Amino acid sequence: MLIVDALPWNGQYPGLDAQFKKGIFYKGHARDLPSRTPLWSYTVNPKTFSYWTSSTLLISLASLSFVAAKSSSPTQTPPNPQITKNPYGQLADGTRIDSYTLKNKNGMAARIITYGAILTELWVPDRQGQFADVVLGFENLEGYLGESPYFGATIGRVANRIANGKFTLDGKEYTLATNNGPNSLHGGNQGFDKVVWEAEPLEVANGSAVKFNYLSPDGEEGYPGNLNTTVVYTLTDDNELKIEYTAETDQATPVNLTNHSYWNLDGSANILDHELRLAADHYTPVDETLIPTGEIAPVAGTPMDFTRPQTIGSRIDQLQGDPGGYDHNYVLTDKKPSMKLAARVRGPQSGRVMEVRTTEPGVQFYSGNFLDGTITGKYGQVYQKHAAFCLETQHFPDAVNHPNFPSIILRPGATYQSMSVYKFLTD
């Protein structure tokens, strides 16, 4: 037997999770090691073997050397050395899905795939400088093709719910798929989270970026007009993940785009001890099917009040419903369409802090109520209720049916523009 403890890892290999071949009897997980520069530990049979990782690293123990290698499908590296493109899998019809890994000078890394323009990984340092993946997701494409609760996905044409799957625009009634009880949710049966996006890396001055484009045809999921949509992910050297959305149409159509990442800043079993502050003094109450009643109500004196930092679990038991928890749209206090603070979250165990800024008027705070232990995600983790939270920057739910809500109608000649920035700090 031979013990090897020699592979430094500084976050430059996101998703590094060994898929062992013959000869290995034990592996120690890098995230469990205390050093600032973690090491992968192996107890092995000292016979020649190798394994491939998603980061295309070949370990050959015959010579006890570590050699960078190509995967069985050639890796393509765009001109920016901070961007890596890799094959991620393929659909049943043979369509290839790629992943793009963005890195910054501080060791952070984000991975986004062309299926659903999904953020599958985001590696962020804690107060000790240790990196961890702070978003929920699956190990491979097959997970996202199954019953995914929108992990990390780009949501469109219209994020959130539309009552009874119907709306009227310019005198014409449109009918959508009802995929969430009586309502339409997150774009319908095949929203933007379930389509293949074209992608290309971009040159930016302060980090790395990739642009995703999708043309949604007229009539797709019942929506009018050809909608040309672009989403740009940028990982900056200021430890920010910036997501910019633009869209243009040839017919009037509702548009409301967001990202549906599930966050857990500590890698803990649940997020009930995370401290949350929302820059919102009002919210939109909902009925039993989570459709807004039309009221814009103050949060003061209710369990909805996060205008001062509160742990997510401190009053969650006061919320009625099945399964219970937060799943509400908050109306940001700052009504300007420019960038403003929407939320600040702190993971007490890791010291990671996430600040969310957006141009949107609202943010949907969701406390992972429908996670129930039936999903096994990355690193073998079973996702139980409240395993993560979402902060979906957005216009208000069912806005097409509420004239008192900010409009989500995009018309020909106009450009939909939205930006949200997730900045990471430590306490």
Q: Tell me the two tokens of residue 43.
A: 């107890």
Contacts of 288 (CB under 8 A, 6+ apart): 321
| DSSP β-bridge partners for residue 311 | 275
Distance of CA 243 to the CA centre of its chain: 10
Q: Which of 402, 348, 412 is nearest to 163 (CA)?
A: 402
Q: Tell me the two tokens of residue 204.
A: 């930016």
Distance CA 156, CA 193 (A): 7
Q: Which of 274, 236, 252 is nearest to 350 (CA)?
A: 274
Residue of 386, 392, 395, 402 marked catalytic: 392
Distance CA 381, CA 375 (A): 8
Distance CA 387, CA 152 (A): 14
Q: Which of 361, 318, 313, 338 is nearest to 160 (CA)?
A: 361
Q: Using alpha carbons only, give the angle 123, 382, 423 rounded to the nearest 5 degrees.
A: 25
The answer, yes or no, to whether the previous bond of 323 is cis (omega within 30 of 0) is: yes
DSSP SS3 for 326? coil
Query: How many CB atoms neighbour CB 35 within 10 A?
Result: 11
Distance CA 139, CA 383 (A): 13
Contacts of 62 (CB under 8 A, 6+ apart): 47, 48, 49
Residue 392 annotated as catalytic: yes
Residue of 186, 220, 240, 260 marked catalytic: 260
Q: What φ, ψ does residue 402 adopt, rounded to 5°?
A: -135, 100
Question: Which amino acid makes up residue 144?
Answer: Y
Instruction: Please provide the size of the chain in residues.
Output: 427
Q: Using alpha carbons only, give the angle 143, 110, 257 rounded to the nearest 5 degrees.
A: 75
Distance CA 218, CA 195 (A): 15
Distance CA 39, CA 7 (A): 5
> What does DSSP say about strands 131-133 and 154-155: parallel, antiparallel, or unpaired?
unpaired
Residue 142 annotated as catalytic: no
Q: Which residues are catalytic?
A: 260, 392
